Structure 1
Amino acid sequence: MSDKAVVVYSGGMDSFTVLNTAIQQGLEVHAISFNYGQKHSKELLVAAEVCKELNIPHKVVDITAINSLMANSSLTGEAEIPEGHYANDNMKSTVVPNRNMVLLSMAIAYAVSLEASKVFYGAHSGDHHIYPDCRPEFVEAMNAVAKIANYQAVEIVTPFLHNSKGEILKAGLAMQLDYAKTWTCYNGREKSCGKCGACNERLEAFAEQGTQDPLSYEI
């Protein structure tokens, strides 16, 4: 069994926790990030800094050419990023069509080329309501495909699939992770907006754990 693993690493707090979880499991970690035209591409700079600090191989793949096929999302198009909580239906505008299937497919291909047996990604229960490609049934189906799509079977690993953002943060704090080295806000400005769904969920997670978010906010 290979001790190599590919981690889909956005630079956000979930994937940051997943990245460090894989490292602590003693795996040889290879991080992969994707530029799909997201407004919050600042997360890619944060991801690169972390991987450099940890001395982890890191690929940033530019897939902006397919952005026209993944249209109608406020994360990539002209529509403004909605404010509020993920439970609100207006947050559906942040869905990027088929995003995780596309990203996982490329991560699986990368794993096969490295002879890595696992691909980690940070789906969690807080995303289930809005994002179909973060739900357990999607992960199960992709896992089944990943095991038969190539001569080498690859396992998709989602350590926090049934955990909340607060529980992910709790796990990361137990590992003494520094969440100043992450970016969550859907607006890629100098400071986090504090109003989008991603910011709201992040702030609630820190409040739940009774600790201060190290990032600066516009509010």
Structure 2
Amino acid sequence: MSKALVVFSGGQDSTTCLGWAKNRFEYVESITFDYGQKHKVEIAQAQKIASLLHVKNTLLSLDAFSQLNDSALIDSTQDIGAHHRVHTNLPASFVPNRNAIFFTLAHAFAQKQGIEHIIIGVNQTDYSGYPDCREPFVKALELALNLGSEANITFHYPLMHLTKAETFLLSKEEGVLDLVLNESHTCYNGEHSEKHTWGYGCGECPACVLRKQGWEAYEKGI
């Protein structure tokens, strides 16, 4: 049986990946991380979406990021639209080493579950300034993790070279566009009460702006 694990935040990208995985693997489960993010509503939405798609979802809690407090996604005193206070060439929403830790834990979890495929929603086209969303990083980490555990687990990243508009199109093709629009959460400010044509969010943070622009391009036929 082909088995896959989706690193699942409950956002647009990972919801699209969850639909993509379910259409390609015989068995799919997901893993979600609570790392002290301000927009905790994404955790609730991840669990809801996984339930709607009949996917087992495991929630792992990580206190270390809250202790480091090195991102506007965790520290409410930082401006989400500013530059990162240490990595000044990156946005304030950058969480140092977050993906490295998430993917490492997912790799360990996959070994425990006997899963040989991990699906991640990283993207280097609309990557918003995150160097740990680029293909060279993922390939290097995959190699290191497999070498370090004598495993043969493959990372899949179906959104890597897609624009946000193309991601909307893929979600439609995979049958999860309605879930993306009505259930997924991307907004950095945790706003999930105001519904727009492109989904829920404040409409002003970088994540919302990118999603809105992608939806508008999608509606125009990309």
Identify the TM-score tier after normalising by the shorter chain: 0.7 to 0.9
Aligned mate of 2:202, from 190, 193, 201:
193
The equivalent residue for 1:155 is: 154
SS at match of 1:110: helix
The yes-or-no answer on 1:80 pairing with 2:79 is yes
Deviations, residues 73-104 of structure 1 (Å, cap 9, x unaligned): 10101213217xxxxx7861110010000000
Q: How many pairs are equivalent? A: 205
Q: What value does the CA root-mean-square deviation take over the aligned residues? A: 2.0
SS at match of 1:97: coil
Deviation at 1:41, TM superposition (A): 1.0
Residues 173, 63 of structure 1: alpha-carbon distance in 2 compared, 3 angstrom cutoff: same
The equivalent residue for 1:171 is: 170
Gaps of 5+ in 1: 84-88, 212-219
Gaps of 5+ in 2: 83-87, 195-200
Residues 120, 165 of structure 1: alpha-carbon distance in 2 compared, 3 angstrom cutoff: same
Contact 1:91 1:197 in 2 (8 A): no
The equivalent residue for 1:17 is: 16
Q: TM-score, normalised by structure 2?
A: 0.86
SS at match of 2:59: strand
The equivalent residue for 1:40 is: 39
SS at match of 2:202: coil
Q: TM-score, normalised by structure 1?
A: 0.87
Deviation at 1:140, TM superposition (A): 1.3
- Fraction of identical pairs, as percent: 31
Where do residues 57-136 of structure 1 align in structure 2 (5 Å cutoff)? 57-69=56-68, 71-77=69-75, 78-82=77-81, 92-128=91-127, 130-136=129-135
The equivalent residue for 1:181 is: 183
SS at match of 1:149: helix
Deviation at 1:27, TM superposition (A): 3.2
The equivalent residue for 1:56 is: 55
Deviations, residues 44-80 of structure 1 (Å, cap 9, x unaligned): 11110111112211011111244223x3210101213
Equivalent residue letter for 1:186:
Y
Query: C-alpha separation between the residues in 1 aligned to 2:118 and 2:8?
Result: 11
